[in-house]
A and B are shown apart, each in its own frame.
Chain A
Amino acid sequence: MSMELDVFVGNTTIIYEEVYQLWLDGYSVNDAVKMRKENGALSECEASDDVLQSDTMDQYRTFQMCERLLYSPSKLANQLLFQIPAHSQTMLIERYYEFDHNFAREVLGKKLSKGTKKELDDISLKTGIALRSCRRQFDNFRRVFKVVEEQRGPLVENVQHHFLLSESLAKDYAAVVFFANSRFETGKRKLQYLSFQDFAFCAGQLISYWTVGAVDNMMEDMDVDLEKEFLHDLKELKVLVNDKDLLDQHKSLVCFQLREKIRVFTEMEANFKNLSRALINIATKLINTKDVRDLFIDLVEKG
């Protein structure tokens, strides 16, 4: 005695955000039903457990069918299978591509390959994020990476256009892509205290000032890669350490710029020479890929 089949299909596909989030978070149908019950879904409309179960199943099926379309969000707008209101479409996409910063922190700078995918079990254990959700987030990274990797033009805009995401989310993706491409080492213990947001900020700065696109606006090429010539030119910075006059001049300029802007200003001013030397040492070595990867370790260790 059992329900063999149970479906509900509306002409308009209505997405309930609450259930969608549960699905995205990787909960099984049974868990999702439990969660919804705890959130008081039963009090609405005098529903029973069966009703909730059936409703959750229906929605999960809808999400699964939509997932295929979400791989390339522009398809969602001109597919014919589901009639989804525009605001729901935006929500579907944005939520699908949202990621946990804890998770992103774990894979930041790692190669977005099948090999890394195998580590997802450990990451799931470590972060407490369901494996299913980890897989989705990781696959999203890979998908975004693959699409924008070879594209010209500003990285953030590319992500935004191709995946129809909000600007802030697109920026986060840009950071992930940027780190994955340059393979910056972020997993060392010494760097553990840094959050995803910290790195994302750095990525933003690097993209704005150090990449090919940033250096040569006319080129409109490759936001993803660091400008080789620029890194080469960094060698010249040695003068700032070796030449006393230039050192002083550099110091006064930097101090002028930073005065009253940072809290540790006095310390910085006192230690300027050492700091500058360390930074410039890192900078001059950036011609080697290995050193580029270790940029952040070096900055923390030696800066």
Chain B
Amino acid sequence: MPGKLKAKIVAGRHLPVMDRASDLTDAFVEVKFGNTTFKTDVCPKSLNPQWNSEWFKFEVDDEDLQDEPLQITVLDHDTYSANDAIGKVYIDIDPLLCSEAATVISGWFPIYDTIHGIRGEINVLVKVDLFNDLNRFRQSSCGVKFFCTTSVPRCYRAVLVHGFVEELVVNEDPEYQWIDRIRTPRASNEARQRLISLMSGELQRKIGLKVLEMGGNAVVGYLQCFDLEGESGLVVRAIGTACTLDKISNTHTSASATNPCNSSPSKDMKEAGFGEETPGVPLSSGPPTPLRAQTFSSFSPSKSYSRQSSSSDTELSLTPKTGMGSGGSAGKEAGPLKALLRQQTQSALEQREFPFFTLTSFPPGFLLHVGGVVSARSVKLLDRIHNPDEPETRDAWWEEIRQEIKSHAKALGCHAVVGYSESTSICEEVCILSASGTAAILSSRFMQDGTLDTEHRLSRQQAPVFTSGAEKGEGDMGSSASLGFEDLMPPGCGFCHIPYDELNMPFPAQLTYCHCCRRYKVPDVLFTTIDLPTEANITGKGCLIQARLCRTKKKAQGEGNATAISNLLPFLEYELHTQLMNKLKLRSMNALFGLRIQISVGENMLLGLASATGVYLTALPSPGGIQIAGKAPSDITYEQHISNMQKKINDTIVRNKELYEINPPELVEEVIGSPIPEPRQRSRLFRSHSESSDEVSELDLSHGKKDAFVLEIDDTDAVEDIHSLLTDAPTPPGFYSCNTEIMPGIYNWTSALQMFTSVRVFRLSNVNVTNQGLNKVFNDLCENLLKSLYFKLRSMVPCCLCHLNFTVAVPEDELIQVAVTAVAMSFDKEQSLENGRQIVDKTLMKAITENEEQLQFPLELTAESSSSAFCSAKGLSEVSGPLPSARAPSVDYSSFTDRCSSWIEQLRLKAHTIRRGSIKTMSSLEKASPLPEGRSRSLRSNRSYAGGSVAVVKMTPLSFLPGTKIIKYLGIINMFFIRETTSLREEGGVSGFLHSFIAEVFAMVRAHVAALGGNAVVSYSMKECVFMENPNKNQAQCLINVSGDAVIFVRESEIEAATPQPHSASAHTSSSGEGT
């Protein structure tokens, strides 16, 4: 009996009128957990009832605590007939089970009904008393923290990254059970909501157990998805990255300054760490055989389709080359040291079944090389899940796909996959499973004995300017001689260097020497699924690049359908890839980040949408232009047509270069880059220089087809490509857009932000259902949606739409649905680019040094070698002046950190009191309200209005809020709602219905966060938005699944403001909730 859950029902407000005769309601509440139910008294004839109930106590297993939600039902008492339900609140009590998260849930929750939406609010208090259970064989995993954030959460540091965790649970979908024919839609919806809540609880618990087994204490990058397989069941699956996280406690920082600088490099520690590790690890099972990859498909070989893409657009062989294990790929250029390092990390990783990481951004030094995107898809026929307790089939499906991904990564000479994600698309009984990620080589130190940390990568803080990062810094300290191979690379380009063997490349690609360091080879283009590493050197700004494609498909059933889809998939992906490549070249960029390819299947079509953020990586060669060639150059008008098009394209390229400020600093580079190894390189540089000159005509094709991307417009596809190339409207002035966390090239964010969701459904009646017609419709749909977003957010200019996440679906025969969730963030245009760059450098360095500070203490406890390693960085951080040479006395610095930590301490206290305070004022208001309506009451409510009684909760799909510091993570928010209506017209049609539903979902998320004591949701995402309608019956139904991390943040301006006058702190805090 390890836990006691206590709940108290305080009051209700704004209840709906349930009794028409009196215009009032006799409300009471049922509180249910597991199989135990308590009831409050009936509060007669009031729309603002005061129950002030006793504490309802549930004594339960912690296993149940994790699985079950607390269910609160508000009812209207009826003497003669059955009591009418007003609505329900489900409260996930998971955040209370973690000592570091929330301690109490208290606040107003919207009362939600699946038919009527939000109907009033209820004030609830929930607490949990947890007894420690040390049973080794326990089934619960209380205390494991979950984060949706795909980087190390801001106020934690990672001690160890254990690796991939996955789990999957299946059940019958209540909507398809026989009982559904006789129960009301409301009962059916509630059964579904409850089941999914239970299943996600169970899933989380099981994943937690796996994490504990691995020795971790947290899951980062937790991604949970639902597969509504209809008749065949309901699957809830999740993946994540298991880590051991340490909360950064700022009291430690003061100790660090006392430690003198030590020059021993961190790489020593890496090797030492590795050495400790190896004996315990059984050697890897060897590279997977080609056979394995072929066992993949379920019906026939033709159905399995897979493809890797990295620096080239060409098709790849499906069989990975066994000879090309990651160890072997350390080519000549790498040298023995590199090979050694490789082997170490490789074996460190190979103990894992799947060396996958759901993280998309990493601390400096973790990501060594990036190979390219790896993806795998498989088409499956769904069958009924016979035994929910043994979800083997589904598990096996994913296992196959993951194996394939792993082997693809191997083929690219990589031993790990980062930015990994999985998704499905279901239509009738056909299901496409997809997985994708970025093949990469990681540094072993973070996985075994090292630490990583991404404390506020981007937040701007007033901090001493540190002029170089940890990696560089070590070099500065003169210890570079003893460093490993990797450390000599400037951090800005290291990840671009190819991880595979130059002579044994897995695909044709043009390699050149890195434009930054001139020492290692880089590909001409780089595609990845991760965020742009902070240390990356880029030129100009980035932009959103989308490839959109629609393909018709014959209607078919069962296996025939599956075969048809599998046959179409390769072409679809190939074309998406070509489109991406063309658009990238058109923008004169050479790398894609955050690539996400979504394939959605409908009855009679396949939709493909690839989104990514294009940038110009300074390390990579400048892309050539696009050349159009006709196959039969006989006709003069035809030639003219071609040259016209060519001119248009060239103009666009020039315009784009200006727009995105892409002016590669070639000349400067040539001066700096002292060891130019080959004449070939030099010629290349000259050439690219001439390309960027103003005369467009010179951008012609004299470089031959090696550089320019040749499009032959004889075939219709190319015409289509060119069409889509040129129809992409540029973003209006003042706007930028990207689908990564932040826009590469913009640094000076203000705190103004607006998160939004936009959904559009397009009906294709009477469209000529040809590929071209469909393509145009789909393309226009996406373009118009973007245009609409720019218009709606025009008041925020200059601003950037970040994390633009498109989801497409084909809900019915002739419908295309596009949903977008993103955040618009304003930035300061006044600051020049250089300033911005400086700031980012500053914050980056600040972040790094902070990490080092924070590492200091715990590492001293663990390993001598490691502590000394970080001392070297410590020494660097003592350089607090703007010049690297001017070293401030360490005493100064320590006092600075001292103060810093004490401010943060203060802030914590403040945050705590704010929370307490708000709870108190609420209850005092409640006490006042029992007075009957009268003047005194109206006056009081007026006053509370002036103070703003509802706390502002910010939401963002990013992992941070600009200009703020996240001081506490309160737990994961994972909510699933169903809304249904039988009076669609009366609710304003489908748009009115969905509009209010989305607003309600936001409101419920905000209420839950506020009740946990938080003031923001980060890493928010809408994972599912399934909309079905039947206008003839005046009905519609929608399912939405959202998730994110509830946090408490404080503004940096307040941190600063709080320091000179600690006494005025309370005045500042009151404004903390303000903002857009």
Contact = CB atoms under 8 A, between A and B. Distances in A.
A42 to B, nearest CB: 10
Interface in A142-160: 151-153, 158
A5 B754 contact: no
A9 to B, nearest CB: 4
Contact of A11 (B13, B755, B790): B755
Contacts of B999: 9, 65, 81-82
B1002 A11 contact: yes
Interface string B794-836: 1100000000000000000001010000000000000000000
Majority secondary structure, A binding face: mixed
Contacts of A289: none
Contact of A80 (B755, B950, B1029): B950
Nearest to B755: A11
Interface residues of B, number: 66
Interface in B993-1019: 994-996, 998-1000, 1002-1003, 1006-1007
Contact of A79 (B14, B755, B794): B14
B942 A74 contact: yes
Contact of B754 (A2, A12, A45): A12
A2 B765 contact: yes
Interface in A39-98: 44-48, 50-52, 54-55, 57-58, 61-62, 64-65, 74-75, 77-83, 85-86
Interface in B939-963: 939, 941-942, 944-945, 948-950, 952-955
A7 to B, nearest CB: 4
Interface in B764-806: 764-767, 777, 784, 787-792, 794-795
A143 B857 CA distance: 66
Contacts of B763: 1-4
A80 B939 contact: no
A152 B937 CA distance: 13
A62 B735 CA distance: 25
B356 to A, nearest CB: 32
A300 to B, nearest CB: 37
Nearest to B780: A50
Contacts of A8: 756-758, 788-789, 792
B760 interface: yes
Interface stretch (B72-80, B180-188, B307-315, B984-992): B984-992
B581 to A, nearest CB: 27
Interface residues of A, number: 48
A208 B1003 CA distance: 45
Contacts of B759: 5-7
A80 B121 contact: yes
Majority secondary structure, B binding face: mixed
B761 interface: yes
A14 interface: yes
A161 B938 contact: yes
A162 B938 contact: yes
Contacts of A46: 729, 732, 787
Contact of B791 (A7, A51, A162): A51
B756 A5 contact: no
A73 to B, nearest CB: 8
Interface in B969-991: 988, 990-991
A246 B475 CA distance: 108
A227 B20 CA distance: 37
A157 to B, nearest CB: 9
A64 B988 contact: yes
B446 to A, nearest CB: 34
Contacts of B990: 4-5
A151 B934 CA distance: 8
Contact of A4 (B118, B729, B761, B788): B761
Contact of A158 (B795, B935, B1076): B935
B110 interface: yes
B952 A83 contact: yes
Contacts of A14: 754, 795, 1076
B755 A10 contact: yes
Nearest to B995: A7
Contacts of A52: 791
A82 B999 CA distance: 7
B686 interface: no
Contacts of A44: 791, 794
Interface string A234-256: 00000000000000000000000
Given A61-B988, A61-B992, A1 B765 contact: yes
Nearest to A84: B950
A8 B791 CA distance: 12
Given A51-B788, A80-B110, A161-B938, A57 B765 contact: no
A217 B150 CA distance: 67
A45 B786 CA distance: 12
A164 B942 contact: yes
A161 B944 CA distance: 12
A85 B1076 contact: yes
Nearest to B773: A1
Contacts of A45: 732, 735, 787, 790-791, 794
Nearest to B735: A45
A47 B941 CA distance: 43
B735 to A, nearest CB: 8
A7 B756 contact: no
Contact of A1 (B754, B777, B784, B792): B777
Interface in B186-233: none
B466 interface: no
Contacts of A5: 759-761, 817, 990-991, 994, 1027
A65 B791 contact: no
Nearest to B947: A77
B131 interface: no
A55 B792 contact: yes
B791 A3 contact: no
B942 to A, nearest CB: 5
A74 B953 contact: no
B550 to A, nearest CB: 14
Contacts of A10: 754-756
Contacts of B660: none
Interface in A1-47: 1-12, 14, 16, 44-47
B110 A3 contact: no
Contact of A9 (B110, B756, B795, B954): B756
Most buried by B among A10, A11, A16: A11
Nearest to B812: A4
A58 to B, nearest CB: 7
Contact of B1003 (A55, A80, A164): A80
A81 B754 CA distance: 16
A51 B787 CA distance: 7
B928 to A, nearest CB: 14
B994 A7 contact: yes
Nearest to A65: B996
A283 B165 CA distance: 90
B988 A161 contact: no
B1016 to A, nearest CB: 10
B758 A9 contact: yes
Contacts of B638: none
Given A1-B763, A6-B991, 17 more contacts: A1-B764, A3-B760, A9-B995, A11-B754, A11-B756, A46-B787, A51-B787, A61-B995, A62-B995, A65-B999, A74-B942, A74-B945, A77-B950, A80-B121, A82-B1003, A83-B953, A83-B1006
15 contacts: A6-B759, A6-B761, A8-B756, A8-B788, A9-B756, A10-B754, A16-B795, A50-B784, A61-B991, A77-B949, A77-B950, A78-B108, A78-B949, A81-B1003, A161-B939
3 closest cross-chain pairs (CB), A and B: A77-B945, A5-B761, A10-B756
